[in-house]
């Protein structure tokens, strides 16, 4: 992308918002408010509506930024996913390591790819489903443990996304990197090996912990 001058960047960012002052008696604010039972439900509903409406704003700003910089930051990023039979879904910097592993496995003839979730809330269920429903076997990597739930939080959202899909991929959940533990290419390779084995056996095993000392 071309280098952007300071004026172009500032125009996109806009002027900084004026921070509220707790000592401004003409414009009082409340910090750490307690929302009691009488209106709690209504306020939570307003919050849910605001979150839902934010999806369009996120998309509009993403499109505007893409026109300015030729860099497109969407709700999620896909990598070599178009013809993939096996795919990872994950969040964060681990995707960089996973892309290298995808390239290595592609060189070996394995049809693998990945999806990197960029916006977790609001979760774009419809578009995620459209991108994943034709994949045969999917491994969802969670850097968080559900602590006696069925799965990690990302896996739960992917299952929900695919519930109304015409095709239902084989899904597996992997917990990794808790406490900031380093994730190696070998760890990512082991996840794909689990997916290859699951496809052969026609059976998924949940949940698998990667990189933990048993």
At 65-74, the pLDDT tens digits run: 898 888 889 9
Beta bridge partners of 116: 77, 90
Arithmetic mean of pLDDT, 158-168: 95
Q: Is 90 strand, coil or helix?
A: strand
Arithmetic mean of pLDDT, 129-148: 95
pTM for the predicted model, two decimal places = 0.87
* Integer Cα distance of 14 and 127 in angstroms: 30
> Could you tell me the CA-to-CA distances from 176 to 46, 61, 113, 204 in Å, in that order?
35, 32, 19, 18
Q: What end-to-end distance do the CA atoms of the chain give, in Å?
A: 46
Arithmetic mean of pLDDT, 141-157: 93
- Using an 8 Å Cβ cutoff, are 199 and 86 in contact? yes
Averaged pLDDT score across all residues of the chain: 93
Confidence of residue 21 (pLDDT cuts 50, 70, 90): confident
Output the CA angle 118-213-112, nearest 5 degrees.
40
Kindly state the percentage of the chain with pLDDT values over 70.
98
Residue 145 CB neighbour total at 10 angstroms? 15
> Could you tell me the CA-to-CA distances from 114 to 81, 171, 188 in Å, in that order?
6, 14, 11
pLDDT at 146 (0 to 100): 84
Per-residue model confidence as pLDDT tens digits over 84-110? 999 999 999 999 999 999 999 999 999
User: How far, rounded to the nearest angstrom, does the alpha carbon of residue 154 sit from its chain's CA centroid?
Assistant: 7
Confidence of residue 150 (pLDDT cuts 50, 70, 90): confident
pLDDT at 1 (0 to 100): 46
* pLDDT at residue 27 tops 50: yes
Instruction: Take residue 145 and report the two structure tokens written for it.
Output: 């443990």
Residue 102 CB neighbour total at 10 angstroms? 24
* pLDDT at residue 78 tops 80: yes
pLDDT at 185 (0 to 100): 98
* pLDDT at residue 130 tops 80: yes
């Amino acid at each position: 992308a071309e280098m952007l001058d300071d004026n172009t960047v500032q125009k996109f960012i806009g002027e900084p918002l004026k921070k509220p002052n707790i000592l401004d008696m003409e414009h009082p604010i409340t910090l750490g408010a307690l929302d009691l039972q009488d209106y709690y439900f209504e306020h939570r509903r307003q919050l849910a509506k605001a979150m839902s409406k934010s999806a369009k704003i996120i998309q509009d700003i993403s499109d505007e930024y893409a026109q300015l910089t030729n860099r497109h930051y969407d709700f999620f990023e896909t990598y070599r996913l178009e013809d993939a039979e096996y795919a990872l879904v994950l969040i964060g910097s681990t995707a960089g390591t996973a892309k290298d592993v995808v390239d290595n496995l592609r060189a070996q003839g394995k049809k693998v790819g990945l999806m990197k979730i960029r916006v977790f809330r609001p979760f774009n269920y419809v578009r995620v489903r459209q991108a994943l429903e034709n994949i045969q076997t999917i491994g969802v990597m969670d850097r968080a443990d559900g602590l006696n739930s069925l799965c990690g939080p990302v896996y739960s959202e992917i299952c929900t996304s695919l519930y109304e899909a015409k095709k239902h991929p084989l899904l597996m959940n992997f917990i990794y990197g808790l406490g900031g533990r380093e994730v190696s290419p070998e760890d990512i390779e082991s996840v794909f090996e689990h997916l290859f084995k699951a496809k052969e056996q026609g059976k998924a095993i949940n949940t698998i912990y990667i990189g933990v000392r048993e």
